Chains A and B, each alone.
Chain A
Amino acid sequence: MPHAPTLTITDVSLTYGEQLVLNKVSFSLHGGRILALIGPNGAGKSSTMRVMAGLVKPDSGTATYNGAQLDFQELRKHFGYFIESPSFYNYLSAKQNLDLLLRMQNSPQKSEDLIERVGLTHAANKTFSQFSKGMKQRLGIAQTLIGQPEFLILDEPFNGLDPEVKAQLMDLVIDLARNHGTGVLVTSHLLADLEQMADDFVLLNQGGIHLQGRVSDYVNEKQRVTLLFSKPISRLPEMPFEVLENTGNKLLIKASAQETEQLLLTLAAQGIAPYSVQRSDLLHEKYMEIAQ
């Protein structure tokens, strides 16, 4: 199996006027893995993506592809870029818009296939101006697949989508990463979505990297779990977790994901089932620390 491609940016800094927008941001994106770029508004997520897309020239920093240094403009050869609120030509249909981009990249792909992959076949001949926000998002995803890029950069791709479509597109992105070796860099303000699909994360704050690592390392740490019961539970099973609060109907514990799962199975065996389970993981807490 060939070595997975790696795209790395190092010490990228960017200022707009007097304002420092990015401060020495560095991370790597690997083929077959999904990297979530997270952070509150103004943290520098979109600016990082714009630099990587060659839309904005950074003040300093380098980019490498498989170890070879590239100009940021050249990086575009390796990825498909989804822009938040994608814009196409209003007077052209979805098919015509994609045909333009296919021709531009001399791609043998068919616009019909791309449209089908994002579930827009029924609207292929509608003009872009007739599209709903969700349909525009889907067409935006379709255009990232042109040229079968090794990497995808997705800036808020699931905004404004209904749950069903969002699930479809998340499955598509996960499939591209897991089964086609595509490296994905994705931002979303929906942390739960990112935790569900991402392998790695970079948490940005005020233009700099606050924290980065593997999602599993943070999600599987012991965290506060709240379980709510319609009837008070009389006795808790013996388990290696810390009970922070027990009012009978509400149980607050500190447990790992595996321990939580084990507790739920044990309770179920006793015929007890909580009607609500809320788990706040470490990544979420780290995010909230800087967001507040």
Chain B
Amino acid sequence: MRALLTNELYKLFKKPRTYISPVVIVVIIILINLGMFLEGGQILDFLLATLREQFFLEGNLINGYLITFLSLSTLWVHIPILVVIVTADLMSSEFESGAIRMLLTRPIKRSALMSAKMLTALIYVTLFMLFIGALSYGIATLIFGKGDIIVLYEGIQIITSAQFVPRFLLTLAYSTFGMMAFAAMSIYISTATKNSLAAILVSLGVLIISTLLQTFSLGIFESWKPFLFTYHMSQWQLFFYTDIPWMEILVSTVFLAAFTAVFVGLSYRKFNRLNITE
């Protein structure tokens, strides 16, 4: 198992496509910071215009913590897209290249190979999220310093400078969990379709539909929300409530765990029963 995992990681980091997503993230985060550096004051004045009429706001509101938070808010829709580029390719690339026949004629168990693929996805997603976290936090605090932040979720949420780092780390951990759920789904689609492009497109299609349904807040659509994985993935925002609603986070965590378990199970089942006839 260890050898299989080593092999999978070796292949992952040898593939050029592995580095596409981190490069895109670097560009986006630099652009966000640049934008806030040049236009941040005006943007904040616009956003807080109403608040300023009722409250006396004191201190450095455009600080590194706020920019880090804004980076996460901007990126959370894009991160799954960038994750799927790699995870949807994990199985299907083996079929496309024909290397799957070589792997499966070795004296190894199919379930062991699938486990190595799943662990590789988990490691990649974790490293990717850490990279995003470190980069967004590092650049923003370096340029803008630290401070308290105001978040406009269901009213005004105030996160003090001392509270920010632990909450940011919890957010990263929760987001990694959410991304792994999406990665598990993409691996299943990758195993079923045996085609990287189809796996990426189908995964993104599901993501787009789920995200769209989540944005509809009328009638029947509202009642669907608790069953949409994107709704639960977006619950990381709850960590930026002044009082964290732990029960809601727990429910979403259980949903994402179940979602992941279903697709991991389906992936094993599909792969173990697959006839390699090509």
| A residues lining the B interface (CB < 8 Å) | 16, 50, 53-57, 73, 76-77, 81, 83, 85-92, 96, 100-101, 103-106, 143, 147
Interface majority SS (helix, strand, loop, mixed), chain B: helix
Contacts A57-B275, A104-B4; A76 near B107 (Cβ below 8 A): yes
Question: Is residue B52 contacting chain A, with contact meaning CB distance below 8 A?
Answer: no
Q: Which residues of B approach A to under 8 Å, CB–CB?
A: 3-4, 6-7, 10-11, 14-16, 97-99, 101-109, 273, 275-277
Q: Which of A50, A55, A103 contacts B3 (CB 8 A)?
A: A103
* A–B complex contacts, Cβ < 8 Å, 16 sampled: A50-B277, A53-B104, A55-B105, A55-B275, A56-B277, A57-B273, A76-B105, A76-B106, A77-B107, A91-B16, A103-B7, A104-B103, A104-B106, A104-B108, A105-B107, A143-B102
Q: Is the CB of B105 within 8 A of A81?
A: yes
**Among A54, A57, A83, A96, contact of B102 (Cβ-Cβ < 8 Å):** A83
B16 nearest CB across to chain A (Å): 7
Chain A residue nearest to B16 (CB atoms) is A91
Q: What's the nearest-Cβ distance from chain A to residue B51, in Å? A: 54
B97 contacts A50, C-beta separation under 8 Å? no
| 9 nearest A-B pairs in the assembled complex, by CB-CB distance | A87-B98, A81-B105, A55-B276, A77-B107, A53-B105, A56-B275, A76-B107, A103-B3, A100-B7
Are A105's CB and B106's CB within 8 A? yes
Asked if A103 and B97 make an inter-chain contact with CB atoms under 8 angstroms apart, the answer reads no
Contacts of A87 in B (CB 8 A): 97-99, 101-102
A88 to B277, CA, bound (A): 17
The interface centre, meaning the residue of A77, A86, A87, A147 with most chain B CB atoms within 10 A of its CB, is A87
Kindly identify which residue among A55, A89, A91, A103 contacts B101, using a CB–CB cutoff of 8 Å.
Answer: A55
Evaluate contact between A55 and B104: CB separation under 8 angstroms.
yes
| Shortest beta-carbon distance from A144 to chain B in Å | 9
Which of B14, B103, B105 has the most chain A CB within a 10 Å cutoff? Answer: B105
Q: How many angstroms from the CA of A53 to the CA of B11 in the assembled complex?
A: 24
Q: A104 contacts which of B7, B14, B15, B273 (Cβ < 8 Å)?
A: B7
Contact B14 A92 (CB under 8 A): yes
- Nearest-CB residue, chain A, relative to B101: A83
CB nearest neighbor in B for A74: B107
**What are the residues of chain B within 8 A of A55 when measuring CB–CB?**
101, 104-105, 275-277
Most chain A CB atoms below 10 A, which of B4, B6, B15, B106: B106
A53→B101 CA distance, assembly (Å): 9
Complex: how many Å from CA A57 to CA B99? Answer: 19
Q: Which residues of B have CB within 8 Å of A90?
A: 97
Q: In the complex, are the beta carbons of B97 and A54 less than 8 A apart? A: no
**Given A56-B276, A100-B7, A89–B99 Cβ distance below 8 Å?**
yes
B105's nearest neighbour on chain A, judged by CB, is A81
Measured between C-beta atoms, what is the minimum distance from A42 to chain B in Å? 14
Q: Which of B6, B15, B98, B106 makes the CB contact (< 8 A) with A101?
A: B106
Distance in angstroms between the alpha carbons of A193 and B99 in the assembled complex = 28
Q: Is A54's CB under 8 angstroms from B99's CB?
A: no
Whether A101 contacts B102 by the Cβ 8 Å rule is yes
Once the chains bind, are B105 and A54 in contact (CB under 8 Å)? yes
CB distance from A128 to the nearest CB of B (A): 9
Whether A103 pairs with B6 at a CB distance below 8 angstroms is: yes
Question: A83-B101, A87-B97 given as contacts; is B3 within 8 A of A104 (CB)?
Answer: yes
A106 surroundings in chain B (CB, below 8 A): 3
Closest A residue by C-beta to B112:
A104
CB distance from A68 to the nearest CB of B (A): 16
Nearest neighbor of B10 in chain A, beta-carbon distance: A100
* Chain B residues whose CB sits within 8 angstroms of the CB of A77 once the complex forms: 107
Question: How far, in whole Å, are A86 and B4 apart by their CA atoms in the complex?
Answer: 20
Docked Cα-Cα span, A56 to B105, in Å, equals 11
Measured CB to CB, the closest approach of chain A to B161, in angstroms, equals 46
Docked pose: A87 CA to B139 CA in angstroms: 44
If A103-B7, A104-B7, A105-B107 touch, whether A88 touches B102 (CB-CB below 8 Å) is: yes
Known interface pairs A100-B11, A104-B3; A83-B97 also in contact (CB < 8 Å): no
- Excluding A54-B105, A87-B99, 5 further A-B contacts by CB distance (< 8 Å) are A55-B275, A83-B102, A90-B97, A92-B11, A100-B10
CA distance A89 to B101 in the complex (A): 12
Chain A residues, CB < 8 A from B98:
83, 85-87
Residue of A nearest to B106 (CB): A104
Residue on A nearest B6 in the bound complex, by CB: A103
Which residues of the other chain, B, contact A101 by a CB distance below 8 angstroms?
Answer: 102, 106
Nearest Cβ on chain B to A154's Cβ, whole angstroms: 12
User: Cβ of B11: which chain A residues have Cβ within 8 Å of it?
Assistant: 89, 92, 100
- Roughly how many angstroms separate A92 CA and B93 CA in the complex, as a whole number? 14
